[in-house]
Structure 1
Amino acid sequence: MKHLLFPLLCAFFLTGCLEDECTDVVTYTAYHPVVLTAAEWRQDDFTATTPQSVCDPSAFYVYGNILFVLDRNAGLHIIDNSDNADPRPVKFLNIPGGVGLAVRNNVLYVNQYIDLLAFDLSDPREPRFLSRTRDVFDPYTDFAANLHGTGEVTIAYTEGPETITVDCNSPYYGRSWFLEDGFIYTTNRQTFDFAINTSGAANASGGTSEQVGIGGSLARFTINQGTLYAVDENSLRTFSLADPKEPEFMGITQMPWGVETIFPYKDMLFMGANNGMHIYGVSNPLDPEYFATFEHVLSCDPVVVQNDIAYVTMWGGADCGSRGDQLMVIDVSDPRDPRSLQEIPMSNSHGLGVDGNHLFLCSGPEGLKVFDLTDDGRLGAEVHHAPDFPAKDVIVLPAKQELIVLGWEQAGIRQYDYDAEGRPVHAGDLSICN
């Protein structure tokens, strides 16, 4: 009996260790990547084409009467904005991969994935390509999130149904999407959008007088002291413009993780990060000097500065943090020792701009809000509200008393005039393609 029991126990335990074999037939939509080689996207043929509709605006910038709008993974729209009630598209430059841009003395600087391009804008209707500075941004950052290690870039996906058999022991069994061999398989379009954002598969010196443009509070490029600066998630990159036609990459200043925006003020740079505001001095433009960090709770964090007062919005939604929205007013008269003046609860606070005694705040689906500022720069009462446009970021043009507001997703761009009381009056729109 003892000899019989042993093989029976072995058979019992071995049977318990065997995994059930099963399969499931599932119909997925397969998204096949459309890929450009490095040689294809680096061909330096940027012949300006006729104006095209803006489809997915990701950044905007103003230089004189020209409004520039970057279209994510498509190119750059050049728009005559002399009359903000009737903006007129002028040209379109096929520059896929653009995230940041800035203009100085009629030279436009814009990234194309990991490269920096320069264009002559002496005639904005006929921009002329000047130079390409290669490999100055890191792959896998916001500048080149859809670039592969080989230099190839995914510019789009084509879709088609595909029925596949999934084994129940597969790690993909029961999942609504998965990535395999560069293909994304999903059960519906909404899941594809989530997969794109989650998997990363589609992941994007001075001394002379100068004229520079104006960017929004969410900008990643800026020009100060005759020098171009760019921020990615954890670094500040410096470019000499001693030869404006061929910018020279000077080096990297490493920063804590989470840097999102950059704003120039006097001879300083203010960087918004998801856990604080970093201040650097650029009196020596090619060698930024760390001054201080004003720490705050985890949040998305654009910043603007006026009269030694910094205004910082902190949005706790999405992946930005868990704490509620707020706006902070910070005294930066001593940039090595920034001090909090106010912390005000907000709702959906995003990009912002300031002019004199008014602060313009983009509040997402709640629209554009206008606040009074006291004589010492503190936030006063909300005095106006334009609720009919989902506002993400704003460029303030004090000389013209105009606002250019970038909307969320497919909302487009809306322009306002404003009076001495800061009251915004709708002037015109830049619509989005279907």
Structure 2
Amino acid sequence: MKQFFFVFALMCLLSCNTDDRDYETIAVAIPEMMSKSEFRKSVEVQAAKSSINVGKIYAYEDLIFITDAFKGVHVIDNSNPTAPRATAYLKIPGNEDISIKNNHLYADSAMDLVVFDISDLSNVQVIDRLEDVFSVYDYRIPSEAEYADFSNYDFENNVVISWRIVQERREIVDNSLLVFNDAAFSTAAESSVGVGGSLARFQIINDYLYTVGTSALSIFNISNLANPIFENIQYAGWNIETMFYADNYLYLGGTNGMYIYSLENATTPKYVSQFVHWEGCDPVVVDGNYAYLTLRGGNTCGQLESVLEVIDITDKTNPTLAARYFLDNPYGLGFKGPTLYVCDGTSGLKVFDKTNPLELQQTQSFTDIHAKDVIPLPNSLLMIGEKALYQYSYNENALQLISTYRLN
């Protein structure tokens, strides 16, 4: 009996003595990796794909580009807006944004900048690659993950290409994991330039390409379009998500505020001021003395409230809140003349008269669609949602649908 009790006691010491307060079951993101050498060989031009995982939208001449988040870019021929047609797919692992000038397409590919010649859509060519120019890039940890396990990741030689989610029971005090979701880790002739939506992180201004990461602003000299030169990198702010250009200023939208930079010196943007708001996802557009930004709450973006804020930027050194309007779950926005277009997610597209920015008047609402971002072009409005690309004409100050292009 004594021998049995000893064995039982020993077994309890080894397996029964568990304090649930010290353990928890968590969703752990395990990175799927590829060597940098393989990664750089994987960029290629492929046939058009019918199904599109919607990322961001970009317009250039008669073309529309839709990014396939961190995988590539869909190219759509929009020469006939009533019947847009997919023509090609650019496989670009690690891609989030693009920008185009005179048929030269610039795209990020994780830590690299890749240049394409798109002058002949039947023969798109990769013509240059600047390696390791982005010292900070977004790994986009899946939103359902509580932690990311980088214990077997070689930051110098590997690139994260996807994630595997596993449920693991771990000690709460385990510090071998890196937290958290959406984290980023350090390691004058006439020309044709495209335009992105309000969620863009790339902007071409004259002979320079500006790109913004989570906290870094990178500047490239593209006076030689085929061979850009990495000019400068500088700290930009905290958790930057978007970038907008107006009147020689860059406006950076971050989760904690809007940052204003002067481009008086094109290669070294100068910090002017910051408008601080409560935490929330934050695209911004600027027209004259007012900036318009949306804050989306209720998720990892931060607060519960979702609003459209109007910021008085008459004095760039001291931006102030001028008005606030409540929305449901806003994303991107844009304007044309006195009209402001706001994508309110599952609540659709909302149209406002901003003749008086302090008293916006809603003039139209499209509630039966999902709205993510817009590009107000001279003759039409492009809007993208989760499942479709919509095009509208500006008829008598009201939008009229031209076409709906299903994405998946």
In the TM superposition, what whole-angstrom CA distance separates every residue of 1:230-268 from its partner, at most 9, and x where no partner exists? 111112111111221111111222132121100111211
Determine which of 65, 87, 91 is the counterpart of 2:88. 91
SS at match of 2:37: helix
Amino acid at match of 2:56: A
Rounded to whole Å, the distance in 1 between the matches of 2:17 and 2:93 is: 42
Q: Which residue of 1 aligns with 2:146?
A: none
Number of aligned residue pairs: 379
**Pair 1:242-2:223 in alignment:** yes
In the TM superposition, what whole-angstrom CA distance separates every residue of 1:335-360 from its partner, at most 9, and x where no partner exists? 22323321222221221010111111
Rounded to whole Å, the distance in 1 between the matches of 2:117 and 2:405 is: 28
Q: Which residue of 2 aligns with 1:305?
A: 286
**Pair 1:224-2:205 in alignment:** yes
Deviation at 1:210, TM superposition (A): 2.5
- Larger Rg computed on CA atoms: 1
Q: Which residue of 2 aligns with 1:189?
A: none
Q: Which residue of 1 aligns with 2:104?
A: 107
Q: Which residue of 1 aligns with 2:36?
A: 38
| Alignment map for 1:86-235 (pairs within 5 Å) | 86-139=83-136, 141=138, 149-156=155-162, 171=170, 198=181, 207-235=188-216
Deviation at 1:407, TM superposition (A): 1.5
Determine which of 405, 411, 432 is the counterpart of 2:383. 405
Rounded to whole Å, the distance in 2 between the matches of 1:231 and 1:139 is: 10
SS at match of 2:133: coil
Rounded to whole Å, the distance in 2 between the matches of 1:125 and 1:266 is: 37
Distance 1:151 1:386, change over 3 A: farther
Rounded to whole Å, the distance in 2 between the matches of 1:121 and 1:81 is: 15
Rounded to whole Å, the distance in 1 between the matches of 2:369 and 2:265 is: 42
Moved more, 238-247 or 50-59: 50-59
Rounded to whole Å, the distance in 2 between the matches of 1:367 and 1:115 is: 36
**Pair 1:391-2:371 in alignment:** yes
Gapped runs of 5+ residues in structure 2? Answer: 1-8, 19-26, 143-149
SS at match of 1:21: helix
Q: Which residue of 2 aligns with 1:49?
A: 46
Q: Which residue of 2 aligns with 1:275?
A: 256
Deviation at 1:157, TM superposition (A): 6.1
In the TM superposition, what whole-angstrom CA distance separates every residue of 1:338-390 from its partner, at most 9, and x where no partner exists? 2332122222122101011111111111011111112x444422111111211
Amino acid at match of 1:427: S
SS at match of 1:171: strand
Rounded to whole Å, the distance in 2 between the matches of 1:322 and 1:144 is: 20
Determine which of 348, 359, 371 is the counterpart of 2:329. 348
Rounded to whole Å, the distance in 1 between the matches of 2:29 and 2:215 is: 31
Q: Which residue of 1 aligns with 2:147?
A: none
Determine which of 344, 351, 372 is the counterpart of 2:353. 372
| Alignment map for 1:419-430 (pairs within 5 Å) | 419-425=395-401, 427-430=403-406
In the TM superposition, what whole-angstrom CA distance separates every residue of 1:164-217 from its partner, at most 9, and x where no partner exists? 9x9xxx6279xxxx9x99xxxxxxxxxxxxx9x84979xxxxx33332111011
Distance 1:141 1:266, change over 3 A: same
SS at match of 1:394: strand
Q: Is the CA contact 2:139–2:182 (under 8 Å) kept in the aligned structure 1?
A: no
Gapped runs of 5+ residues in structure 1? Answer: 1-14, 182-194, 202-206
Determine which of 235, 243, 249 is the counterpart of 1:262. 243
Amino acid at match of 2:282: D
Q: Which residue of 1 aligns with 2:145?
A: none
SS at match of 2:134: coil
**Pair 1:81-2:78 in alignment:** yes
TM-score calculated relative to the size of structure 2 = 0.82
Rounded to whole Å, the distance in 2 between the matches of 1:64 and 1:407 is: 21
Rounded to whole Å, the distance in 1 between the matches of 2:154 and 2:353 is: 47
Rounded to whole Å, the distance in 1 between the matches of 2:106 and 2:114 is: 6
Deviation at 1:32, TM superposition (A): 8.2
**Pair 1:21-2:19 in alignment:** no
SS at match of 1:125: helix
Q: Is the CA contact 2:61–2:194 (under 8 Å) kept in the aligned structure 1?
A: yes
